[in-house]
Structure 1
Amino acid sequence: MPTELWIKNGLVFTDAGFQEISIKIKDERIDTLVKDKAEPLKETNKNVIDASGCLVVPGFIDAHVHFNDPGRTDWEGIETGSRAAAMGGTTTIFDMPLNCSPSITNLHYLLEKKNYLTSLSHVDYALWGGLTGTNLESRAELAQMSDGIIGWKAFMSESGITDFSLVSPEGLKQAMQVAKEHNKILALHAEWEEEIVRLTTCYKQRPSVNERKAFSLSRPISAEEKAVNYALELAAKYGTAIHFVHISSAKVVAQIDLAKKSGVNVTLETCPHYLIFDEDDFLQQGAILKCAPPLRVREEVEGLWECLSKGMIDTIGSDHSPCLYTMKTTDTIWNSWGGIQGVQFTWLAMLDEALKRKIKLTHILPLGTSRVADRFGIANRKGRIRPGLDADLVLIRLDETTFADKKSFGFRNKFSPYENKEFLVKIKKTILRGKVIYDDQTGITKEKIGLCL
């Protein structure tokens, strides 16, 4: 039977900005947008969600998570990772091809993972495929994989995962050709390996330098700049669509923006941790804030916000990269896992910071909704509140707060640099294809309805 649901009395974020309208949902999709004052509703309360006092925004799309499933579910798993995502208003995630075991570098592993994940996720999802130093020659198999992935991911520096090797400068040329040939975006972790190896060797031999500071110095902005510049040159040459992940510096954003204006098909993501935390936080707190590229000085954080305000940043992704707590409490920072658990708090943190900085929410919301959908080719289903699209919606209040303590964490391992932070916003409900999957009073639903895109 057809199912209908109305969402009334909210302030709805549409293509025209925030509007006082009602949303009619039918068979998992947005059917109609009705101006409340112009056409009063006559629906029964049974089929109505009262969004009074709430902003109603599109479900967020996180194009960068590591849920480690299958193979490393003690680190996370899609059940707990998607639970945390839903609790933070995210209704679609793109799962990276590494940190699961085995990494998704061939067709067999891709199909195996797709089959395994069926009925395990609270949110909709797509999968990245991996291009590495060992599979670039398998062109026929890569062609078969391309139909089942959202895009390709490659590392220009060591990934830290043994079965996901970096692509060399020469190999990157092949990766560009593979992505172009099958009309897929190539996402790049862009740090110049040669520089990192040289500096790491140097600073490991200098015990007089604080080791946390030494780690930061071993992965300087110049390593990002060099890798990004090289990749931009190749993208221009081959006509490849590329997407730089977790860019940490305003200098690099400006570099990419210049290439974009020259006609290179390029976009960039930054992460909330580069916009919230800085190098001093890392020096004080240590491994819980270790990531690569590392957190930068406060001047760079402010520079990223300036870039964001100018429209130079395309998307926000959590780069949720979980691990066991013991992998953070190692005897030296060099051996600790580099990754931050943040999928649940990405948009709580971003909206909180935007409010504090008096940045219009109409400016920041597209970075996790329409811009992601447009870039990755899913705008026919996701990213906007518009008739015909999936009814993925988030109800948010700006007059309630959220306190991040361990008992509120939805992800598996209960630690995060966001612990004990209070955000000036609250997620009231998360709706996936017309069904409430999270409610702040009743919690997450038991039924897992997430589908592979």
Structure 2
Amino acid sequence: MTYDLVIRATHAVLPHGTMPAAVAIADGAIAAIGAEDEPFPAHAEVELPHGQVLIPGAVDTHVHINEPGRTEWEGFDSATRAARAGGVTTVIDMPLNSIPPTVSPAALETKKAAAFGKTHVNVGFWGGAVPENLGSLEALWDEGVFGFKCFLAPSGVDEFGHLDRARLRAAMEEIAAFGGRLIVHAEDPEVLDDAPPPAGADYAPFVASRPDSAETSAIDAVIDGVRATGVRAHILHLSSAAALPAIRAAKAEGLPLTVETCPHYLTFDAEHIPAGGTQYKCCPPIRSAENRERLWEALAQGTIDFVASDHSPATADLKLAGGGDFGVAWGGIAGLQVSLAAVWTGARARGYRLDDAVAWMSGRPAAWAGLQRKGAIQVGRDADLVAFDPEAPFEVHAAELAHKNPVSAFDGHALVGRAARVWLAGSESGEGEQLRRP
């Protein structure tokens, strides 16, 4: 047969290692893989220059796109342009901070309509589990959401309420009954209430306002619920290494618990966040350098399953509110476009391979989400591919990113690794599709 496209690379990250390869594409999928000089007949051919590596596009399962309702914070057009520019070819959108939140089939249809014609990468959708929709979650699951997000402490927006311990258990029982998945923002509100409130430009009081014990207590409650109900549960944006022993024990017990961390927790540390630097504010917070290194070790060991961006942008007036007061400014870090580069920069500095970073940001999240056609350069998978230059240095300038608002914790930071070219279903100009849970 004559293929639509053949991409030849001296280095390609394949499931069994990095090696020279030719990847033949037909009808948007990988149809054959051979030696770099394999004589595949094709209508078009691309030979990557020396130094570029062919990798599967990253799969980011934790992105706040915020449209409709708070589209001034971000939107499908800007978010998916940013994703594609950074080598991310699939995202799964969180059920907040859009209005309405994705907590019913009708709200999901509103979200899909808002996304129509604006997706430059593939987009799936999470549902939400809030006090008002418990008992009716299966209807949303049947519409193809990938699972249900809940907060154990206030979310920050009134339309997405948090679950207390009794409602958490009820949600777990309900979701387990139809084989769904619960993803959890795990901070204990009682611990937060007892902590000193954040105030002022210094970062240390903000960290003290959301101590490690807020995460460990909430994660213990999630583990207890998983043990009691058998529900598949996932800890979002793990920031505290203090929770790692409990997570390791739960996994050793065979509980269906998974965990992610984020590029900002693997990149930054509390000791170097400047006074008034509210662009670094997020919940749970960035912690110490020693804590960061423990997260890296846990990621390499598999205690942490993968990395997701938790791209959570807002307008500059909210992010910088209070003139640098951590008690006033809105929390959340915008980093979708630089997430792959940030993780690779940190991995490279610690002696990990590009194969490792690809597994953490593509293969593992794709497998976890059930996206069996994503996350690997393998025959039968979708041809969502990136020509990645792992040695290309650059300095992040927030104003140059495709994110809607030019505020990011990564602004001014030096990173390594650029997406030189991106193919979606074998096309550099193709648009993304809306994904249902397989």
Q: Normalised by the size of structure 1, how large is the TM-score?
A: 0.91
Does 2:154 correspond to 1:155? no
Q: Kindly state the Cα deviation for residue 427 of structure 1 after the two structures are TM-superposed.
A: 1.2
Contact 1:282–1:290 (CA under 8 A) maintained in structure 2: no
Contact 1:96–1:129 (CA under 8 A) maintained in structure 2: yes
Q: Kindly state the Cα deviation for residue 346 of structure 1 after the two structures are TM-superposed.
A: 0.6
Distance 2:298 2:207 in 1: 22
Distance 1:406 1:186 in 2: 33
Q: Kindly state the Cα deviation for residue 408 of structure 1 after the two structures are TM-superposed.
A: 2.6
Describe the superposition over 1:316-352 as per-residue Cα deviations: whole angstroms up to 9, x where unpaired. Answer: 0000000000002222322211000000011101111
Report what 1:360 is aligned to.
Answer: 353
Q: Which one of the candidate residues 337, 341, 354 is aligned to 1:348? A: 341
Report what 1:442 is aligned to.
Answer: none
Report what 1:372 is aligned to.
Answer: 365
Q: Which aligned pairs between 1:79-228 and structure 2 lie closer than 5 A?
A: 79-137=77-135, 139=136, 142-147=137-142, 148-199=144-195, 202-203=196-197, 212-228=203-219
Report what 1:75 is aligned to.
Answer: 73
Contact 1:282–1:295 (CA under 8 A) maintained in structure 2: no
Contact 1:213–1:283 (CA under 8 A) maintained in structure 2: no
Q: Secondary structure at the match of 1:335?
A: coil
Q: Kindly state the Cα deviation for residue 3 of structure 1 after the two structures are TM-superposed.
A: 6.4
Q: Which one of the candidate residues 54, 58, 61 is aligned to 1:60? A: 58
Q: Which one of the candidate residues 314, 327, 351 is aligned to 2:318? A: 327
Q: Secondary structure at the match of 2:321?
A: coil
Report what 1:441 is aligned to.
Answer: none
Q: Normalised by the size of structure 2, how large is the TM-score?
A: 0.94
In the alignment, residue 16 of structure 1 is paired with which amino acid? H
Distance 1:42 1:109 in 2: 47
In the alignment, residue 311 of structure 1 is paired with which amino acid? G
Per the alignment, do residues 21 and 264 of structure 1 end up closer, same or farther by CA in structure 2, a change over 3 Å counting? same
Report what 2:15 is aligned to.
Answer: 15
Contact 1:84–1:411 (CA under 8 A) maintained in structure 2: yes
Contact 2:65–2:74 (CA under 8 A) maintained in structure 1: yes
Report what 2:378 is aligned to.
Answer: 386
Q: Secondary structure at the match of 1:64?
A: strand
Q: Kindly state the Cα deviation for residue 285 of structure 1 after the two structures are TM-superposed.
A: 4.8
Describe the superposition over 1:100-157 as per-residue Cα deviations: whole angstroms up to 9, x where unpaired. Answer: 11111112111121122122110001100000122214x2xx2111022011100011
Per the alignment, do residues 348 and 387 of structure 1 end up closer, same or farther by CA in structure 2, a change over 3 Å counting? same
Q: Secondary structure at the match of 1:85?
A: helix
Q: Secondary structure at the match of 2:168?
A: helix
Moved over 4 A (4+): none
Describe the superposition over 1:357-383 as per-residue Cα deviations: whole angstroms up to 9, x where unpaired. Answer: 11122223211111111111112x111
In the alignment, residue 271 of structure 1 is paired with which amino acid? C
* CA root-mean-square deviation: 1.8
Report what 2:46 is aligned to.
Answer: 49
Distance 2:120 2:3 in 1: 20
Contact 1:249–1:303 (CA under 8 A) maintained in structure 2: no
Compare 348-357 and 259-268 and name the one that shifted more.
Answer: 348-357
Distance 1:28 1:242 in 2: 33
Report what 2:235 is aligned to.
Answer: 244
Unmatched tracts of structure 1, length 5 or more: 438-446
Report what 1:232 is aligned to.
Answer: 223
Unmatched tracts of structure 2, length 5 or more: none
Does 2:282 correspond to 1:291? yes
Distance 2:24 2:84 in 1: 22
Q: Which aligned pairs between 1:267-282 and structure 2 lie closer than 5 A?
A: 267-282=258-273
Distance 1:383 1:393 in 2: 9
Q: Secondary structure at the match of 1:41?
A: coil
Report what 1:444 is aligned to.
Answer: none
Aligned residues: 432
Q: Kindly state the Cα deviation for residue 217 of structure 1 after the two structures are TM-superposed.
A: 0.6
Distance 2:88 2:178 in 1: 28
In the alignment, residue 304 of structure 2 is paired with which amino acid? I
Contact 2:182–2:231 (CA under 8 A) maintained in structure 1: yes
Report what 1:415 is aligned to.
Answer: 407
Contact 1:270–1:315 (CA under 8 A) maintained in structure 2: yes
Q: Secondary structure at the match of 2:370?
A: coil
